[in-house]
Amino acid sequence: MDILAKRVRSINPSPTLAITAKANKMRAEGINIIGFGAGEPDFDTPDNIKDAAKRALDKGFTKYTPTSGIKELKEAICKKFKDDNALDYTPDEILVSCGAKHSLFNAIMALCDEGDEVIIPAPYWVSYPEMVGVAGGNSVILKTTAQSGFKVVPEQLKKAITPKTKIFILNSPSNPTGMVYAKEELIAIAAVLAQKNIYCISDEIYEKIIYGKNRHFSIASLEPKIKPLTITVNGVSKSYSMTGWRIGYMAGPKDIIQAMSNLQDHSTSNPTSISQKGALEALLGPQQYLLKMIKAFNERKDYIVKRLKSIPLISCLEPQGTFYVFPDISKVLNKEFNGKKIGESLTLADILLTQAKVAVVPGGVFGDDNFIRLSYATSMENITEGLNRIEAFIKQL
Ligand SMILES: Cc1ncc(COP(=O)(O)O)c(C=O)c1O
- 18-51: pLDDT as tens digits: 778 888 999 999 999 999 998 899 999 999 999 9
For ligand 1, whether the C-beta of 107 sits within 6 Å is: no
Whether residue 223 has pLDDT greater than 90:
no
Give mean pLDDT, residues 308-323: 97
Q: Is the dihedral of CA 249, 251, 256, 262 positive or negative?
A: positive
- 245-293: pLDDT as tens digits: 999 999 999 999 999 999 999 999 999 999 999 999 999 999 999 999 9
Which numbered atom of ligand 1 lies nearest the CA of 40?
Answer: 14
- pLDDT band at 83; cut points 50, 70, 90: very high
Give mean pLDDT, residues 128-156: 96
For ligand 1, whether the C-beta of 203 sits within 6 Å is: yes
- 56-81: pLDDT as tens digits: 999 999 999 999 999 999 999 999 99
**CA of residue 100 to ligand 1 center, whole Å:** 6
What pTM, to 2 d.p., does this model score? 0.97
Q: What is the DSSP code (8-state) at residue 371?
A: B
What is the distance, to the nearest Å, from the Cα of residue 224 to the centroid of all Cα atoms in its chain? 26
For ligand 1, whether the C-beta of 267 sits within 6 Å is: no
**CA of residue 250 to ligand 1 center, whole Å:** 13
> Residue 138: beta bridge partners?
117
**CA of residue 176 to ligand 1 center, whole Å:** 11
**CA of residue 73 to ligand 1 center, whole Å:** 20
For the chain, the average pLDDT equals 96
Q: What is the pLDDT of residue 39?
A: 87
Which of 95, 205, 216, 275 most suits a substitution to test ligand 1, by most atoms within 8 Å of the C-beta? 205
Give mean pLDDT, residues 293-301: 97
Q: What is the pLDDT of residue 342?
A: 98
Whether residue 182 has pLDDT greater than 90:
yes
**CA 113, CA 132: separation in Å to the nearest integer?**
9
Amino acid at 149: G
Q: If you take atom 6 of ligand 1, which residue's CA is the nearest one?
A: 101
- pLDDT band at 11; cut points 50, 70, 90: confident
- 337-352: pLDDT as tens digits: 999 999 999 999 999 9
Which of 124, 125, 366, 373 most suits a substitution to test ligand 1, by most atoms within 8 Å of the C-beta? 125
- 164-179: pLDDT as tens digits: 999 999 999 999 999 9
DSSP-derived secondary structure for 151-217: ---HHHHHHH--TTEEEEEEESS-TTT-----HHHHHHHHHHHHHHT-EEEEE-TTTT-B-TT----
What percent of the chain has pLDDT above 70?
A: 99
Give mean pLDDT, residues 216-236: 97
Name, in order, each residue with C-beta under 8 angstroms of 74's C-beta and a sequence gap of 6 or more. 68, 91, 94, 96
Q: What is the pLDDT of residue 199?
A: 98
Tell me how far CA of residue 164 lies from CA of 106, 132, 199, 281, 396, in angstroms: 20, 14, 12, 42, 50
Whether residue 324 has pLDDT greater than 90:
yes
**How many residues are given for the chain?**
397
Whether residue 120 has pLDDT greater than 80:
yes
Whether residue 309 has pLDDT greater than 90:
yes
For ligand 1, whether the C-beta of 321 sits within 6 Å is: no
Whether residue 16 has pLDDT greater than 90:
no
Q: What is the pLDDT of residue 261?
A: 98
Q: What is the pLDDT of residue 14?
A: 72
Q: What is the pLDDT of residue 13?
A: 75
For ligand 1, whether the C-beta of 207 sits within 6 Å is: no
